[in-house]
Amino acid sequence: MRVTVLGAGYMGSAMAKVAASRGHDVTLWGTWLDDAMLDPVARGGVHPKLGLPLSELRVLRADALAEALEGAELVVHGVSSEGAVPVMTKARAHLPDVPIVSVTKGFLELTGTKKMDRVDVAVAEAVGRPVRWVHASGPAKAKEIARGVLTWMCFAGADAEVCRGALGGDHVFVSTTDDLAGAMICSAMKNAYATGLGIWDGLLGADCHNARAACFQQSIVEMERLVALGGGRRETAFGPAGVGDLHVTAAAGRNRAFGEGVGKGKPAKQVAAEMAAAGELTEGYPAIATARRWADERGAGALPLLDALHAIVWGGAEPRATLAALRLG
């Protein structure tokens, strides 16, 4: 099968390696922001983020988008949420009518309604026609996938089965669901909630497992409500897109580190700036605002944990008092 991967960052490159290991003919296309990733690869070195060579792949640069998409039977969308609309707008004239497996998470503002919506909805608007979007949800850190660590992904969408057939196998276990809406909403929400689990570490030190578990549970309760609000099925929040991905996001990484800094009493803006200076993106910071806005635009009402996180991170509320006033359930 001819597979084209758009985006040569962490996840795009990892999924390209998975596709190649299944025997497909894989092209990895880098955006205009991916040159730093591809220069060492072109010299026969390793991908700077993954730390692995990509010699089994055909690698193309930003100006070769049409060439990259020509004859593709499956597209993997590994562009960041910020890049999704610009890239897919450029791709529209060359995009074949094939399934698009996407690892992109978040909400975007639609050009037409100016409302926040799922990435697949924003991409369809940009492309000007429906797209055969399959969302690759679930707990899947790119470096671990590339290293061969057992990984559970849940592919969501009408074409999920064919995509599982193409990409699942060996250490990558793929389950499927037709609940694209539910899986997309869980994925968009999990960075926001993972931040909250880090705040407890900063506030109370390491011995606050009860509070972290209570917030983990509350996150799932609120995700379940948001999934239903967005037209998804509640049980999707209990599966890999919800429980599983929140587990991996909260266990380690930048959202937790961001939350921990805030829990220690630093203003969120300062923590984010310090992390940015060290080259670390903190997706949870903007995700809390976009999640709340998405929910507001749909009349979600109170979401105790998300509201508390929003008050702390965007409203400057004092973490200890705000979380002490949190009402669970």
Binding site for its own copies (CB under 8 A): 139-141, 143-145, 147, 149-152, 171, 173, 175, 204, 207-214, 216-218, 220, 238-240, 243-245, 247-248, 251-252, 323-324, 326-329
Minimum CB–partner distance for residue 192 and its own copies (Å): 18
The count of other CB atoms within 10 Å of the CB of residue 209 is 11
User: Would you say 125 and 90 are in contact if contact means Cβ atoms under 8 Å apart?
Assistant: no
Q: Which of 17, 105, 141, 190 is catalytic?
A: 190
Q: How far is the CB of 284 from its own copies (least distance, A)?
A: 16
Q: What angle do CA 237, 250, 148 make, to 5 degrees?
A: 90
**Cβ nearer to its own copies, comparing 30 with 263:** 263
8 A C-beta contact, residue 247 and residue 215: no
CB-nearer residue toward its own copies: 61 or 212: 212
| Least distance CB 321 / its own copies (angstroms) | 13
Nearer Cβ to its own copies (93/251): 251
Q: By C-beta, is 145 or 166 nearer to its own copies?
A: 145
| Residue 151 C-beta: closest distance to its own copies, Å | 4
DSSP letter (8 states) at residue 241: I
DSSP character at residue 61: -
Cα(295)–Cα(291) distance, integer angstroms: 6
Measured from the Cβ of residue 111, the count of other Cβ atoms closer than 10 Å reads 11
The smaller minimum CB distance to its own copies, of residues 82 and 235, is found at: 235
Residue spans of alpha helices (H) in the chain? 10-21, 35-42, 65-69, 81-91, 119-127, 142-147, 160-167, 180-204, 209-229, 245-251, 254-263, 268-277, 284-297, 304-313, 319-324
Cβ proximity to its own copies: between 21 and 217 the closer is 217
Contact 197, 212 (CB under 8 A): yes
Question: Smallest gap, in angstroms, from Cβ of residue 111 to its own copies?
Answer: 35
Strands 133-137 vs 100-102: parallel, antiparallel or unpaired: parallel
Shortest CB 146 distance to its own copies, Å: 11
Closest CA to 187 of 149, 157, 143: 157
Report the candidate in 101, 117, 120 with the shortest Cα–Cα distance to residue 109. 117
Q: For residue 190, indicate whether it is catalytic.
A: yes
What span, in angstroms and rounded, lies between the C-alpha atoms of 147 and 19? 14
Active-site residues, by number, are 190
